[in-house]
Amino acid sequence: MKKYILSFLLAGTFLVSCGEYNKVLKSSDYEYKYEAAKSYFGKGSYTKSATILEELIPILKGTDHAEESLYMLAMSYYNQGDYVTAAHYFKAYYTQYPNGTYTELARFHSGKSLFLDTPEPRLDQTSTYAAVSELQLFMEYFPESKRNTDAQIMIFSLQDKLVMKDYLSAKLYYDLGTYTGNSSMTADRRINGNNFLACITTAENALRDYPYTSMREDISILLLRAKYKLGSESVLEKKEERMREAIDEYYAFKNEFPESKYMEEVEKIFKDASKYVKELNEE
């Protein structure tokens, strides 16, 4: 494989000026254009190599240069930082050449391109899920690849981003707290509610989906807070049951994080919830 990559770097040195580049663009000699694209690629002139290769790809289809040209085009966009376009061409490459010279590299760089294009956690994470899937597929297709460690590190990083997204969503629900129904209703007809149940569901899903996340303690304390607040603000017939659920969550938290930085708050929640349940049972 190395000899093919070196061929990019050892291509001719005859392209030295804008005039020469314009000459290449106007030429109808496709062998000349192909060698020029390789030369520009080897020199790091990726915009020029991509421009030439975009024209050549359909023309070279079925020739000896077709496979190398498609991979080189993908790498040209990758090296420019256009990761969306790069991922498109890497996928086109390994789809057309599942056993090609560069298939392992194409699958890896397809996943890495998507990884590098993922947004910050507060935004939609559709592309993050796509990146995780692509990197997992790479590891499945090439279980012995020396790049698997890098792929796994990227997957962990992407999962941390997804966990942060869930945490921020859960925290937003918690911070929104209680709400009152339609303001157009009269006061006695408005429906009161809260967002704590949504917080609980989101936090529990995050802990289930990402059991080894480094944010587990922060998500767990948010879950305990939400269960306690849900119990505190519940109607009377549901209050005891939900306070008991908060107490159960307290024990789960304390067992998992006995030295937690949140322990003072955790103990206060337990004390308040236990006091309420005890007083209710004494009535």
pLDDT digits (tens, 9 = 90+) for 123-134: 999 999 999 999
Structure tokens at 153: 């590190």
Q: How far apart are CA 116 and CA 207, in angstroms?
A: 25
Give the torsion through C-alpha atoms of 83, 84, 85, 87, to 10 deg: 80
Average pLDDT of the residues of the chain: 90
Q: How many Å apart are CA 185 and CA 118, to the nearest integer?
A: 44
Distances in Å between the Cα of 63 and the Cα atoms of 56, 95, 106, 134 are: 11, 17, 20, 29
pLDDT band of 13, cuts 50, 70, 90:
very low
- Can you give the pLDDT at residue 27? 86
Instruction: Count the neighbouring beta carbons within 10 Å of the beta carbon of residue 172.
Output: 14
What is the chain written as a DSSP string?
Answer: -HHHHHHHHTS-----SHHHHHHHHH---HHHHHHHHHHHHHHT-HHHHHHHHHHHHHHHTTSTTHHHHHHHHHHHHHHHT-HHHHHHHHHHHHHH-TT-TTHHHHHHHHHHHHHHTPPPTTS--HHHHHHHHHHHHHHHH-TT-TTHHHHHHHHHHHHHHHHHHHHHHHHHHHHH-EEE--TTS-GGGPPEEESHHHHHHHHHHHHHH-TT-TTHHHHHHHHHHHHHHHHHTS-HHHHHHHHHHHHHHHHHHHHH-TT-TTHHHHHHHHHHHHHHHHHHHH-
Which tokens belong to 222?
Answer: 């948010």
Q: How large is the average pLDDT for residues 129-147?
A: 98
Q: What is the pLDDT of residue 193?
A: 72
How far lies 281's CA from each of 240, 248, 266, 275, 277, in Å?
9, 17, 23, 10, 6
Across residues 1-9, what is the average pLDDT? 48
- CA–chain centroid gap for 216, Å, is 18
| Distance (Å, whole) CA 135 – CA 4 | 24
- For residue range 58-97, list pLDDT tens digits in order: 999 999 999 999 999 999 999 999 999 999 999 999 999 9
Percentage of the chain exceeding pLDDT 90: 80
Question: Two tokens at 224?
Answer: 């305990």
Output the pLDDT for position 31.
93
91 phi/psi in degrees, rounded to 5: -65, -40
| Share of residues in the chain with pLDDT > 70 (%) | 88
